[in-house]
Amino acid sequence: MQYLVNAIDYCSESGTTQEAVAMNAFNKKLVTMGYWVFAAGLADPTASTVIDGSGNEPVFTDCPFVETKECAAGH
């Protein structure tokens, strides 16, 4: 089983120094235990595009918002 973990990014100063230290410690623990798969950053939400693939054809919307209960987003 694999999980997606989203975390506050400290590059845009949206998280505190304490949060950054805790995230780094958590990441190191994942690596040490062999659970780490990969890490990647996301662009600023204002640069996002929502793709709705629930219909016959995908619908692209240039905006950072999506009408759903679940959403993965980041900076």
- Condensed to tens digits (0 to 9), the pLDDT of residues 16-39 reads 788 778 888 988 999 999 988 888
Give per-residue pLDDT as tens, 40-72: 776 666 677 777 788 899 888 876 565 666 666
- With CA atoms as reference, report the closest residue to 44 among 13, 73, 6: 73
* CA distances from residue 23 to 12, 16, 73 in whole angstroms, order as listed: 15, 11, 17
| Encoded amino acid at 9, one letter | D
Spell out the residues 6+ positions from residue 48 whose beta carbon is closer than 8 angstroms to its own: 42, 62, 63, 64, 73
What is the reported pTM? Answer: 0.50
What integer pLDDT is reported at residue 75 of this predicted model? Answer: 47
